[in-house]
Structure 1
Amino acid sequence: MLDATARDTAITLARTLAEDDAFRSALSDLIAFPTDSKSPDAPLHAYLAHVAQGFTAMGFTTQGLSVEGRPFLLASRIEAPDRPTILGYAHGDTVPAMTGQWAADRDPWTLTEDAETGRWYGRGIADNKGQMLVNMTALQAVLAARGSLGFNTHVIIEMGEEIGSPGLGRVCERLKDQLKADLLIASDGPRLAADQPTIFLGARGGATFRLRLNRREGGRHSGNFGGALRNPALELAHALATIATRNGALQVPGWVPAGVPDAARAALAGLTPAGGEVDADWGAEGLTPAERIHAWNSAEILAFTAGNIAQPVNAIPDQAEAVVQLRYVPGIDDTRLEQALRAHLDAQGHPDVTITREGSQFRASATPVDHPAARFAAASLARTHGAAPVVLPSLGGSLPNDIFTEILALPTVWVPHSYPGCSQHAPNEHLPRALFPEAVGLMAGLYWDLGEVSRVELLGT
């Protein structure tokens, strides 16, 4: 039987811990590590050594790993073999600091507060150092209140998520037996809104392509040759226009999902995504904006260039380039995305446009909305918050969720502690200070409930 009084005690303690100066100090220490993924001098190992101390203080064993030149930390606490085992995940790397571009001349690697808005600023506070600290603090509160977690747990922390998680799949393959678990519970990405506790169950995949059309060496005078020579910018513009309708609905066969599952449609009913910043008439017809972001595919032109836009000259450009990104949900053949685009452009009369894959690919993956673990997590958050959380079939962005669903065969539940306006990946990354105690309380309630149930109750099997 669930002990409501003890649960409330754990949640109250969690919130108190998050409001204490020690929490702010711990967050400040994490942000002070300049862990830019792309910097060769980033102190990635030092950051993980620092984090390991925090887990050790909670009775975890820690193990450092290095794969594909990237460091990893595995922290484990095994209490009883018959109890559920939960896998956690976080990343300590960040995007570049963008020093000099922050308001009020803020140092990205220093935690600072705007007293007027109640916001805390610092690179990584939202993505993902602050979210990791929320979960660690919640674990600390449950341990203090109960004397144990009541479940077994492993936590993987990587230092390369912002560059495609190199080595994470190999780590999970190598430690597959050691990491046998029942469920992934992790935190990354934004809530639907700052005041709406949210769960998402997977992530859209992401694949990027560079399209290029090269017609000749050097430009040609636009007066002397205009009207007689092909203009690659115009040609590529026409090619790009075939990828979607004038209202943004995908038209590439093989890139379009078969439909939105009924359970996903029900979960998304009435939701306004992306903090309300949507164009209601943009995207696939017959879908709501929430369905278009969290249950459908989209293609975006990230960049398009021909000639010199800063100093145009009277010349027909010799070449044109564009970068196109597809975000996609499970259910399409993502091993043939490039082939599908190639066939589409050929059929539309653009065989001369070359296609090159850019960067790494996150694969789409998601746990069904009606999975027992998803219902369990939603019920736990509702019990703590007093109202049902938002449940999203997929995060609109991309995460290495597929590594956990495919390599480790786990259902996945993500509980984000950020919000759409946090400026992650941009200058002025921040979170509202008030969000932290609420988020730590939600996670303490969830961890407490995990310690009260059996595998059968958690997974329905």
Structure 2
Amino acid sequence: MTGEQAVAQATAYFDSGAFKALLARRVALRSESQRDDCDALIQAYLDDEMAPAFQALGFTTEQLDNPQAPARPFLLATRIEDAALPTLLCYGHGDVVFGDDEHWRDGLTPWQLVEEGDRWYGRGSADNKGQHSVNIAALEQVAAARGGKLGFNCKFLIEMGEEVSSPGLADLCRREAEKLRADIFIASDGPRLNAQRPTLFLGSRGAVNFRLSIHARDRDYHSGNWGGLLTNPGTQLANALACLVNPHGQLQVAALKPPAISAAVKAILSDIEVGEPGGPEIDPQWGEAGLTPTERLYGWNTLEVLAMVAGNPQRPMNAIPGSASAVCQLRFVVDTDWQNIGSHLRAHLDAHGFPQVAVEVLRGSPATRLDPTDPLVGWALAAMAETSGKKPALLPNLGGSLPNDVFAQILGLPTLWVPHSYPACGQHAVDEHMLRSIAREGLQMMTRLFWDLGEQGGELLARHRAHRAQEEQA
């Protein structure tokens, strides 16, 4: 059988309705990781859905404990055909955000897959049950087409706490590095560039949240009696924020800016147009000067104010507030000195006359990016293009964040992400849905990628290692 025939077989499977039925069963499990009363259903997703699916494919399955969050375990499925073959690591998460049942529109519920035109509605249909289900189905189709063989070894990690910031995932990858040892990582999460264009992204921007606060005094004071005599923390904090990011959204802290965008990344991004029909209108005057909107989103750093409070906005009093605070976020690309963000902010605020502003770093995750010139990237793009008949979009990194650092940095793997969703899918919102057309095309592309990995895996990885060695010597 050829790769084209394997794709045709996968297409027939999808068109039979079997994939939709499988996804409907998985969506029906309320695996809301943000709640503490869904533990049994979270466990059921592993026990009743994932473990049997992998075992039917000849994988051995093992539940891995999560000491940081015992009720959010991991499942590792492993299939070793030959120790000499390349090993693929895949990943997905079976937990979902709150269902928010009462706010879905009439006729829809988070826990029942409903088809309307090209849309399959249901919580987790896009994030991430639908996406990892596509990839598992592609493995199944390749094994069936190859007479029970994949042509490579495969490990598949299912997480049940991604929507609560993946507690324990990094520790797991350090602790179980040998069990998770592989040669290449391929997974699906996040959205495509848009609904029409298949997309490959190679990592994600990092994110670090921090709080700025001013505590001037322990109580508020009447503005008529004390106005003009007491400092106003709200006013001071607003000015402090203005010294970090200007009125045009441009980051002002030089130490937190990335290096100039490389020519190679600029060339890749020149083929990308951001925005989605039905999405918000992009403000062309907002963000770093001299960059295109695409470069601002995928190649640069942004500082955002997420929340800000002084006094009581719901019941404002005629009083000078005693304190003010703001939670901010820096989204950043690789080669940003984000781990020293606290000292950089402190130095910048002091230099601009704001020593009274306290800086508290809350949490952060690194940025990652596989070298876009790596031979694995060209291979994946070519397979996706041939299968879909479309030119895929290549993103050096996702604009948002994923736990890619644990795979790229802790496990040291080349990471390829092929999303099966799109920006307007309702992810983390009401009326979440997966597009049937994207799921179908995704299954076709993943089947072809896995088929080719079984045919060419050893050669592809040898080229990858040679390229990496050359880059390290340069």
TM superposition score category, shorter chain reference:
over 0.9
Q: Could you tell me the percent identity over the aligned residues?
A: 46
Q: C-alpha displacement at 1:274, in angstroms?
A: 4.0
Query: What corresponds to 2:27 in structure 1?
Result: 31
Query: What corresponds to 1:153 in structure 2?
Result: 154
CA RMSD of aligned residues (A): 1.5
Query: What corresponds to 1:143 in structure 2?
Result: 143
Which deviations, in whole Å up to 9, do the C-alpha atoms of 1:371-412 show, x marking residues without a partner? 111111111101111232100000011111111111111110
Q: C-alpha displacement at 1:105, in angstroms?
A: 5.7
CA distance in 1, matches of 2:191, 2:309: 32
Query: What corresponds to 1:249 in structure 2?
Result: 250
CA distance in 2, matches of 1:260, 1:185: 26
Q: Pick the aligned partner of 1:398 from 401, 404, 416.
A: 401
CA distance in 1, matches of 2:198, 2:13: 20
CA distance in 1, matches of 2:462, 2:328: 39
Q: C-alpha displacement at 1:180, in angstroms?
A: 2.1
Counterpart residue identity of residue 18, structure 1: F
Q: Does the alignment pair 1:413 with 2:416?
A: yes
| Higher share of residues assigned helix | 2
CA distance in 2, matches of 1:223, 1:15: 73
SS at match of 2:62: strand
Q: C-alpha displacement at 1:20, in angstroms?
A: 2.7
Query: What corresponds to 1:283 in structure 2?
Result: 287
Query: What corresponds to 1:449 in structure 2?
Result: 452
Q: Does the alignment pair 1:321 with 2:321?
A: no
Query: What corresponds to 2:36 in structure 1?
Result: 40
Q: Does the alignment pair 1:435 with 2:413?
A: no
CA distance in 2, matches of 1:322, 1:194: 35
Structure 1: where are the runs of 5+ without partners? none
Paired residue total: 454
Q: Pick the aligned partner of 1:78 from 77, 80, 88.
A: 80
CA distance in 2, matches of 1:55, 1:33: 18
Query: What corresponds to 1:7 in structure 2?
Result: 3
CA distance in 2, matches of 1:246, 1:202: 30
CA distance in 2, matches of 1:270, 1:81: 40
CA distance in 1, matches of 2:243, 2:230: 22
Query: 1:274/1:55 Cα in 2 relative to 1: closer, same or farther (>3 Å)?
Result: farther
Query: What corresponds to 2:344 in structure 1?
Result: 340
Q: C-alpha displacement at 1:190, in angstroms?
A: 0.4
Instruction: Report which stretch shifted further, 101-110 or 299-308.
Output: 101-110
Which deviations, in whole Å up to 9, do the C-alpha atoms of 1:5-24 show, x marking residues without a partner? 62112111212222333212
Query: What corresponds to 1:91 in structure 2?
Result: 93
Q: Does the alignment pair 1:239 with 2:240?
A: yes
1:33-182, aligned counterparts within 5 Å? 33-42=29-38, 43-49=41-47, 50-67=49-66, 68=68, 69=70, 70-104=72-106, 106-115=108-117, 118-147=118-147, 148-182=149-183
Instruction: Report which stretch shifted further, 96-105 or 298-307.
Output: 96-105
Which deviations, in whole Å up to 9, do the C-alpha atoms of 1:88-135 show, x marking residues without a partner? 0111111211221112263212212234xx311111111111101111
Query: What corresponds to 1:386 in structure 2?
Result: 389
C-alpha contact 1:204 1:397 (8 A) present in aligned 2: yes
C-alpha contact 1:210 1:323 (8 A) present in aligned 2: yes
CA distance in 2, matches of 1:356, 1:337: 10
Q: C-alpha displacement at 1:334, in angstroms?
A: 2.6
Query: What corresponds to 2:471 in structure 1?
Result: none
TM norm structure 1? 0.95
Which deviations, in whole Å up to 9, do the C-alpha atoms of 1:52-110 show, x marking residues without a partner? 11111111111111122230000111112222211101111112112211122632122
Structure 2: where are the runs of 5+ without partners? 467-474
CA distance in 2, matches of 1:244, 1:97: 35
Instruction: Report which stretch shifted further, 64-73 or 168-177.
Output: 168-177
